[in-house]
Amino acid sequence: MDPVKIEANGQVLAYVFPRTLGAPEGIRFLNDASDPLQVGLMERPAGHHVQPHMHPPCERKTHMTPEFFFVQSGRIRVTIYDKKWKEIARHELQSGDSMLILDGGHEVEILEATRMFEVKLGPYLGDENAKVFRTNA
């Protein structure tokens, strides 16, 4: 199975990475190389070794805060909106599923007791500046 790409107006808003993604040979990057956050799926045999390394400094510019969700256990529903708050897609994620949100808006409903990881591009702007909420709900 391949990642599910969620698009609106010619722009990728998000990707869903089902737990049933096909096994890569080595590493498989699942989204576009130009996205501000890359997601790779890696399967390596026992004994594989990645040499010690660093990533060189590189100035990057992004227009929003990408987010990555990984559901370790439980079940959630994520609704993706475009920039005008039009609903574009809804996806339920459960244990082992993940999602990368690149643009637009989103809503998360916890359907069962859930443990999940959320990864965001920093720095964190503080509670007052980190989110813009839909006002016409």
The closest alpha carbon to 21, from 67, 62, 66, 70, belongs to 70
- Neighbouring residues of 69: CB distance < 8 A, sequence distance ≥ 6: 76, 78, 93, 98, 99, 101, 108, 116, 117, 118
Q: What is the DSSP string of 47-67?
A: T--PPP--PPP-----SS--E
How much is the pTM? 0.90
* pLDDT at site 135: 81
* pLDDT at site 137: 58
* pLDDT, tens digit only, all 137 positions of the chain: 789 999 999 999 999 999 999 877 789 999 999 999 999 999 999 999 999 999 999 998 888 899 999 999 999 999 999 999 999 999 999 999 999 999 999 999 999 999 999 999 888 778 777 788 888 65
Can you tell me the distance from the alpha carbon of 107 to that of 117, in angstroms, rounded to the nearest whole number? 16
Find where tokens 């609106």 sit. Answer: 8
* pLDDT at site 94: 98
